[in-house]
Chains A and B, each alone.
Chain A
Amino acid sequence: NAGVTQTPKFRVLKTGQSMTLLCAQDMNHEYMYWYRQDPGMGLRLIHYSVGEGTTAKGEVPDGYNVSRLKKQNFLLGLESAAPSQTSVYFCASTDSDNQPQHFGDGTRLSIL
């Protein structure tokens, strides 16, 4: 059972570079989420999607873009990376808002 798979697991970027984080789930879930986790601040929602072709902003969307072209994939893009975006990024998916979320193992991103 793969569940939720995030790639890459680690990445170091220079300020101003761009990159895309990929999240793939094999559970046929409708809902997918991108969070960032910083020390002492818990998980903060960046963007989420309630189905293929839909996206919505979360608590901290600035500096990020997302796409959900296929139901099983949810991509998070950083167009111009900034040091403030150094964090651990988690992707999650679920059947609905009253079902538990299944998390990927996280992507540790450092921006110098």
Chain B
Amino acid sequence: GQNIDQPTEMTATEGAIVQINCTYQTSGFNGLFWYQQHAGEAPTFLSYNVLDGLEEKGRFSSCLSRSKGYSYLLLKELQMKDSASYLCAVSDNTGGFKTIFGAGTRLFVKA
């Protein structure tokens, strides 16, 4: 089956660094996505990893380890506007082309 786990909530301080972890189990792994979703809004794409290693985009980085079924999203120099939910999603090609989403991690950034 497919399963994605990520922490429910995290709190961090403005200017700090925070790491959001995601573990997954899937039989037809075809890539891992991170999305950001502000309250009441649609998810927006942050990053994509299909090979092991680190992908950096400005203040955001994502890392993947396929052998461990693990990814993390790293947010640097936190800003208040980073308060949002962060969704880990796995593309799975078992029996079709589907993306399975985790429940999301709600990040609260405090001053």
Contacts and interface: CB of A to CB of B under 8 A. Distances in A.
Nearest to A3: B42
Interface stretch (A41-49, A65-73, A78-86): A41-49
Classify the interface of chain B: helix, strand, loop or mixed: strand
Interface string A24-64: 00000001010100001111110010100000101100000
Interface string B31-49: 1010100000111110010
Given A103-B44, A105-B41, A105-B42, A98 B31 contact: yes
Contact of B98 (A40, A58, A102): A58
Contact of A40 (B42, B97, B103): B103
Given A43-B43, A105-B41, A106-B42, A98 B103 contact: no
B101 A42 contact: yes
Contacts, number: 59
Contacts of B103: 40-42
Contact of A100 (B45, B93, B102): B45
B24 to A, nearest CB: 13
Given A42-B104, A50-B97, A58-B98, A103 B31 contact: no
B65 to A, nearest CB: 18
A31 B42 contact: no
Interface of A: 31, 33, 35, 40-45, 48, 50, 56, 58-59, 90, 96-98, 100-106
